[in-house]
Structure 1
Amino acid sequence: MENNLGSSRRSFDIWSELAPSFRESALARSVTGARSVHDGISGSMGTWRPVRPSFVERSHYDELGRVSARLMRLILDACRRRATTVGELQDVLGVDEADTPLLSRTELLGDHLLVAARPDIVYRSGVPRFVEFNIDGALGGTLQADLLAARFRDLYRPLPGGDRIDAPPSAVDSRFAEIRTSLGLSEGERVAIPVFSKGAAPGLEDPDAFLAWLAPMCESGRRHGMDTVACPMDRLETGEDDVLLLDGRRVDAVFRLFLSFDQPPSPGLDALVRSVRAGRVRMHTSEATWLLSDKTTMAWLWADKDALPGDDQRLIERHLPWTALFPAPGPDGEALLRHALAHRTELVLKPVGGYGGGGVVLGPEVRDEEWRRALEDARWAGRHILQTHVTPDRLALDFQDQETGALEHAEVPFVVGPFMFGGAPSGVLVRHGVPGGGPVLNAHHGALMSSVVLVDRC
């Protein structure tokens, strides 16, 4: 798969390339309308909000989707070279069975595992670099991305040139279309979306707020022919033959927005585990997809690279930062440690099963002694990777304080996450920093959730 993604531009965001007259009009509307655009959208802490989204050329968006789809396939292929079943992959990865109570070890490593994903992409000199690849159904941010893109599109549509601005396809609708297709659900079958307590986005910690937030998702599920209901986890129970029940009615499928190992013990989670293990309820997605998200798979791509076809080799070299297991197995362990100690400013240390920025150590951001201690801790704990640190491009944005109305301009780091459902791109979640913010771009660390609008070139 030949591609020159990122070769023709220096930035993901083409705002500066748009006509000055459009930018002047759009910015004026953005400043007066930003508060209503962001109103009621959870997931971002603090009071700063961007007054505009990223403007992305449609052809770049399409090509980003094609590269994402190919990398997903390469990750699955790397897993298949090492395992046939989910249980075998779990053993190769060294994932504790206690961390995957919903896992079916006999499940085959098949194409059905690639139905939902969202990579984490940073840009360097205009070239997208995939620093993580989340292949799982428990992907947050679809509704935020949809709402922001649609609201900004509607803000700009009345302007001269606004007819060339559009929102990406709805990530929420793409997700529910894929849920019905991939699970083979019939018209009217019941889908439950359990609300969980740990890992919820900022603003959704309260169960009632979470349930209200999920209402548009339930509406999308119903538009796609499924009786879709959000519910507190503990309203789930099992009946005869471990059939999963919600308020006494059978549940045909569960849309899993959570990671089971992260949740506290509860009767509702126990009921779900029993029903899944008995094969009495379908789930989007099976917990096997979480194994594909293990960052070990990115190290496997680099380990296998030279045996792959030339197009795939070039794809990995261009878009996937060098990644290696740490500690390295066998005699290479000491050499890799020496390399890591000597090249702190060029590397990032990550736990392979973490998420949300937890446990990540950026070499350029710490001193030598702290880096050495982090490496020693990782050697003792195992299951880490070293990855080339990508110094990211910056996104030049104006921000508005939602409480005071004050405006401030800043150039901030950003991460792009195109949602992939059924192998095709839909909405795009952009997480970026704020004026005076830090380098870790996660909602729980103060980063903002934003989105993109697509631009059709004349």
Structure 2
Amino acid sequence: MSARANRVTEAYLAKCTAPDSRLRHALADLDVSQTKRAAWPRLLPRPVMVDEAEFRAFGRDLVTIYELVTSLPQRCFDGDFERFRAALGIDDRRGALMRRLLGDGPPPLYGRADMYYDGSSFKLLEFNIGSALGGLDMVGTLPKAYLRIPAFAEFAAAHGLRYLDMGGDLAEALRDAGKAIGAGEPVVAVLEGPGGMAVYGHQRRAIAQLLAEQGIDCRVGEIGDLTFRAGKPHLDGTGVDVILRYYALEEMLAHPDGDALMEPVFRAHENGTVVVWTPSNVFGNKGTLAMLSECSADTSVFSAQERAVIDRVLPWSRMLGRRGAGSDERFIEECVQRREQLVFKPTGRFGGEGVLIGPEVDDRTWREALAASAQTGCLVQEIVRPNLELVIDPETGARSEWYALWAAFMTPAGLSGGGVRAVPPGGTTVITMINNTKVRNTCLFTC
């Protein structure tokens, strides 16, 4: 982190060393609704501080990366979406479904960038361009709760702490989306896939509460809960104008009724009775970052300024198993030799599923994963070493170190907030809430 962020962090830790410090016990004093508390089951004992100028500069770079990713069909495939999606390993059926909601232009800027801080700058690991974003309900809500604690409010005032509040930016984006079909104040439905509410219901209800605080009429349910009247979707008997989509294409394709559930939503979107936000996650495919990395030196594809952004924020990345890329045997051997420097990420999966950190697995496991991915596709990326955040245990006062995975949330307004997922050293460095119970979440304050 910058010298300023480090100074503020050290001052916070120093305040927490006293056993009777109210700042040290701030997490226990958080006043949040039961809905939101249920959505955040595992929290780090403190927020993380970030230099606001540095964070905003990275946010501007992310806008550029988004623009480059969404322009890849035009820049590299002569505007042919079919060639583009085939180069990403997306088959005909999936490509056709993605195209139905996409339209002729790129989707609106909306996504979550996951990154590490390598000691001098942020490095982009993944850019989840699409609607199913985890953690957004915490971005502004948790900082507000901290600031209601007198000890924290006093510290924040003394050190000029601020925060980005995604709720307002998201509400504005959804209102703008509703205007496309003539909705004044839109009714928004946060929709899960079949059975999704049993697993993620607490998180979706927290998003609905966040939007309600911004004056949005928001309903929560599963795609199968929709009914249709004259082609318009209804939820709980109320017409829906905007769908904030949390059902994924892969889960719908795996469900026996997936096509039947999606078809009326497709038609409603195409006929202008509802807006699906956002329409397609094709640009969130991990292979798009490999395309940027591979072409970063090509002056015929990117300008000098664009190449500088790619080189500044994106680690060396390549895709394995892409159609038309030639034989993968030589590349597999190169990756085997470089195992200690690389991470393996299957394309088309999420939540850290299937990710392998080269130094954490043996040669056989690594080679087998690479060989299998020659048919299914994967991203191979140079490892970025994450920074460590120090935390004071509220009960014992002991200091501990945590690896930090940073998140930057983007909306049409640009950078709209951030957060951190953290894990203690000693186990896997794959930081995901889905399959690692040691992971803790927290919010960001800028300084």
Q: TM-score band, normalised by the shorter chain?
A: 0.7 to 0.9
Distance 1:166 1:26 in 2: 24
Q: Who is 1:296 aligned against? A: 287
Report 1:99-118 matches (<5 A).
99=94, 103-105=98-100, 107-111=102-106, 113-118=107-112
What's the CA shift for 1:80? 2.7
Q: Who is 2:264 aligned against? A: 274
Structure 1 residues 372, 195: CA separation in 2 closer, same or farther (over 3 Å shift)?
closer
Q: Who is 1:341 aligned against? A: 336
Q: Deviations over 1:61-103 (max 9, x none)?
A: 2212111111111211223322636555433423235547853
Distance 1:186 1:25 in 2: 54
Report 1:39-54 matches (<5 A).
40=34, 41-43=37-39, 49-54=43-48
Any idea what SS the aligned residue of 1:118 has? strand
Which letter maps to 1:144?
A: M
Q: Deviations over 1:179-201 (max 9, x none)?
A: 1113425323322222445667x
Structure 1 residues 206, 266: CA separation in 2 closer, same or farther (over 3 Å shift)?
farther
What's the CA shift for 1:342? 0.8
Any idea what SS the aligned residue of 1:305 has? coil
What's the CA shift for 1:23? 6.7
TM-score, normalised with respect to structure 1: 0.83
Q: Who is 1:130 aligned against? A: 124
1:152 maps to which of 146, 156, 159: 146
Matching of residue 327 in structure 1 with residue 324 in structure 2:
no
Check conservation: 1:190, 1:250, Cα contact below 8 A: yes
Structure 1 residues 372, 85: CA separation in 2 closer, same or farther (over 3 Å shift)?
closer
Any idea what SS the aligned residue of 1:451 has? strand
Q: Deviations over 1:377-434 (max 9, x none)?
A: 212x33112110112221112244xxxx455422111111111110411221211114
Check conservation: 2:422, 2:440, Cα contact below 8 A: yes
Distance 2:337 2:388 in 1: 27
Check conservation: 2:343, 2:380, Cα contact below 8 A: yes
Q: Who is 1:387 aligned against? A: 381
Distance 1:258 1:376 in 2: 30
Report 1:6-85 matches (<5 A).
9=2, 15-16=8-9, 18=11, 28-37=21-30, 40=34, 41-43=37-39, 49-81=43-75, 82=77, 84=79
1:182 maps to which of 167, 177, 180: 177
Distance 2:245 2:172 in 1: 15
Identity %: 20
Distance 2:39 2:343 in 1: 26
Structure 1 residues 183, 100: CA separation in 2 closer, same or farther (over 3 Å shift)?
farther
Provide the aligned C-alpha RMSD in A.
Answer: 3.2
Q: Who is 1:3 aligned against? A: none
Check conservation: 1:429, 1:451, Cα contact below 8 A: yes
Structure 1 residues 433, 354: CA separation in 2 closer, same or farther (over 3 Å shift)?
same
Check conservation: 1:100, 1:261, Cα contact below 8 A: no
TM-score, normalised with respect to structure 2: 0.85
Q: Deviations over 1:105-161 (max 9, x none)?
A: 4844524x1321110110112311101011112112111222222222333554266
Check conservation: 2:194, 2:222, Cα contact below 8 A: no
Q: Who is 2:210 aligned against? A: 217
Any idea what SS the aligned residue of 2:148 has? helix
Distance 1:28 1:174 in 2: 35
2:347 maps to which of 346, 352, 361: 352
Structure 2 runs not aligned, ≥5 long:
none
Q: Deviations over 1:346-386 (max 9, x none)?
A: 0111112111101111101111121111112212x331121
1:312 maps to which of 302, 306, 316: 306
What's the CA shift for 1:11? 9.3
Structure 1 residues 198, 141: CA separation in 2 closer, same or farther (over 3 Å shift)?
farther
Q: Who is 1:454 aligned against? A: 446
1:162 maps to which of 148, 153, 157: 157
Distance 1:235 1:19 in 2: 47
Structure 1 runs not aligned, ≥5 long:
1-5
What's the CA shift for 1:286? 3.6
Distance 1:382 1:137 in 2: 24
Structure 1 residues 267, 375: CA separation in 2 closer, same or farther (over 3 Å shift)?
closer
Which letter maps to 2:191?
A: P
Distance 1:297 1:22 in 2: 44
Would you say how many aligned residue pairs link Structure 1 and Structure 2? 431
